[in-house]
A and B are shown apart, each in its own frame.
Chain A
């Protein structure tokens, strides 16, 4: 009897697994089916062009690892949609080096172990020229030794400092602004715009918050900033008045809160209840609507560093504006919603890679490596990229903006 119970349980589990799979695929299906109508519109003019300068010969194969399913799928899905969209665009416009572009996308299911197998498959089985991705930092750190050993250029779309800070970085570049850049942007705002010097830091005890605190402590003296108090909280704490009262006692001029939701929203509410009216500077961890929903009125006036895609009107550089407008329109036509930040990371990663291949006029790994290291002024949704042999981050502090919450939406603070 017990045996039968276990079998029933297993059937139930299998059903759940299948359902998760079906839901995951359902999401993907919508993206692929929506590609169809858009493609018929764009292929018509392109196909006539193809006869003139159409891509021919062996395809240039580029691999991609994204978290299309699993907890990180909000990152991986827009990235995947962007890569598929670009593959089509490039091929419609004559391919790369006169050859068709083929992007092979692997799903790491948000698990670094799957990213390892995916990287091995792309390199060994598909003989890819280079790899775009992965979406999440753990997968990037797990794949790094593999692409380094195989000498395959890899453009990660993840933010942990270690990806490009710790050697070996010869074959690893990244497109999103790294965590340290956001901390620098927040401090520069405090020092240069607010012209304040006494800062209190309230941070989450998780990886994100702790790395933020470390970065702030390291660079505060450079900005002439003194940290008068630092307090921490656990991710799931629902009341931060104790920490805020302690901070209040230290008389800071500004409070920096480094964490992801819901902590920062709780802090904003508690500050209001305690009548603390010093400026609230958040992190890029609250660059989403969830923070505004959770904090409600208390969100008003909060500022935080973010990428320019969050406030498209902040993009003043005409070249970048043209790129972003074109990208946003194309993305919206295919997917049906404006591109999130993550879509921008993918657009930049594949764009940088194709540009490097074009510059090198070769798919040879060493030639691509040289071309990537010499990238200057490449403009994409995330900003302007300048890679050097020792700087594989590309972006600078000018590529970030400080956003203020006003009337429940985002506006440029500076």
Chain B
């Protein structure tokens, strides 16, 4: 029991904090920022799996979020399908598409993979705009029904229930990601990332595992898109552009590529910091951009390496015990705990 708690202390602490938040505030503004943070986290976790674990880049992830959002919107508004079922159907479609796209693209590397995924994202965006008979084009789709369980309706006007649902799912995905990283599949992916030839020679099926990672990340993104659609109750193609894909990648990278907790911290910073910076009005984007650059220059390992970076700084300056600084950060603790399990 103690061992279990120690192993999962970071996750449990995070889960308790996030699930407890709505009991301390009923401000729907805070809760709406957190709701969008939850859906963003779902996407980031999937993208982190793909980029950080499997070493594949995707500049087209907005497309999978869009497929989830539009899948849910179309199935519920046109065919009157149950929202939960629509979410599952959309996720399955996203997985199938990711599988079909993934087989040729995951054979590509570096710039070529970036370009291929970017192209895929643009194609989906063009379809969303042009296939007007189904997607209503740039008008977007209105009147998307809310998610509900019996009499409990999850809407913006019931922000606490919505928060618990969204963060419940996001935390579940986080738990799945953490488990996956420690599993055989996670080790295989890491092996492919670090040394593909070596991993392949040890019997790891490269294409299979990469496509698998691509499909899982597409499912995470699609589910995030479905939740967003039911939360906002309106969607339009403008939300699924290249800019969104780039923001997703930025979030994963500034958090700390390859670390699941990095995806968490990166998402929190990407979603909450701009809201906080709104007080600087026109300078918001500038300040945010500079902060991102500073993080990348001084913390190339991402936010998750903040603990160890501070520790190093302290030992250099004052010679204090660096272990104290290291363990103060649950992210780096988790990162260190996982490292021996990796294929390093």
Q: Which residues of A contact B296 (CB under 8 A)?
A: 7, 10-11, 14
Contact yes or no, A17 B275, CB < 8 A: no
- The size of the chain A interface, using a CB distance under 8 A, is 59
B84 lies within 8 A of chain A by Cβ:
no
B207 lies within 8 A of chain A by Cβ:
no
Interface of A is mostly: helix
B26 closest partner in A (C-beta): A124
Contacting residues of chain A (168-205) with chain B, CB-CB under 8 angstroms: 205
Interface of B is mostly: helix
Contact yes or no, A137 B246, CB < 8 A: no
Given contacts A5-B110, A149-B157, A162-B142, contact A22 B129 (CB under 8 A): no
Complex Cα distance A15/B15, Å?
A: 33
Complex Cα distance A136/B234, Å?
A: 14
* Number of residue pairs spanning A and B whose beta carbons lie under 8 angstroms apart: 161
B236 closest partner in A (C-beta): A138
Interface string of B133-146 (1 = CB under 8 A from A): 00011111010000
B20 lies within 8 A of chain A by Cβ:
no
Contact yes or no, A17 B36, CB < 8 A: no
- Among A104-112, A281-289, A345-353, A386-394, the one that faces the other chain is A104-112
Contact yes or no, B293 A15, CB < 8 A: yes
B168 lies within 8 A of chain A by Cβ:
no
- Among B178-186, B253-261, B310-318, the one that faces the other chain is B253-261
Complex Cα distance A102/B283, Å?
A: 19
Contact yes or no, B139 A137, CB < 8 A: yes
Contact yes or no, A138 B234, CB < 8 A: yes
Contacting residues of chain A (40-85) with chain B, CB-CB under 8 angstroms: 69-71
Contact yes or no, B132 A205, CB < 8 A: yes
Interface string of B293-322 (1 = CB under 8 A from A): 100110010000000000000000000000
Q: Which residues of A contact B238 (CB under 8 A)?
A: 71, 110-112, 136, 138
Q: Which residues of A contact B293 (CB under 8 A)?
A: 11, 14-15, 18
Most A CB contacts (10 A, CB to CB) among B243, B250, B257 go to B243
Interface string of B272-295 (1 = CB under 8 A from A): 000100100111111011101100
* Minimum Cβ distance to chain B for residue A202 (Å): 17
Complex Cα distance A303/B137, Å?
A: 27
Contact yes or no, B282 A18, CB < 8 A: no
**B139 touches which of A28, A142, A160, A234 (Cβ 8 Å):** A160
Contact yes or no, A14 B292, CB < 8 A: yes
Interface string of B106-122 (1 = CB under 8 A from A): 00001000100000000
Q: Which residues of A contact B193 (CB under 8 A)?
A: 2-3
Contact yes or no, B29 A21, CB < 8 A: no
* Minimum Cβ distance to chain B for residue A91 (Å): 18
B292 closest partner in A (C-beta): A14
A19 lies within 8 A of chain B by Cβ:
yes
Given contacts A22-B289, A25-B282, A111-B239, contact A141 B57 (CB under 8 A): no
Complex Cα distance A247/B291, Å?
A: 58
Contact yes or no, B246 A17, CB < 8 A: yes
A13 lies within 8 A of chain B by Cβ:
yes
Contact yes or no, B130 A14, CB < 8 A: no
Instruction: Write 14 A-B pairs (CB below 8 A) sorted by A numbering.
Output: A7-B253, A7-B257, A7-B296, A17-B247, A17-B289, A18-B292, A21-B286, A105-B281, A110-B238, A112-B140, A121-B29, A142-B233, A142-B234, A207-B132
Not counting A125-B27, A206-B132, A206-B137, a sample of 8 additional A-B residue pairs whose C-beta atoms are within 8 angstroms of each other reads A2-B193, A14-B292, A14-B296, A113-B239, A138-B140, A142-B234, A207-B136, A207-B137
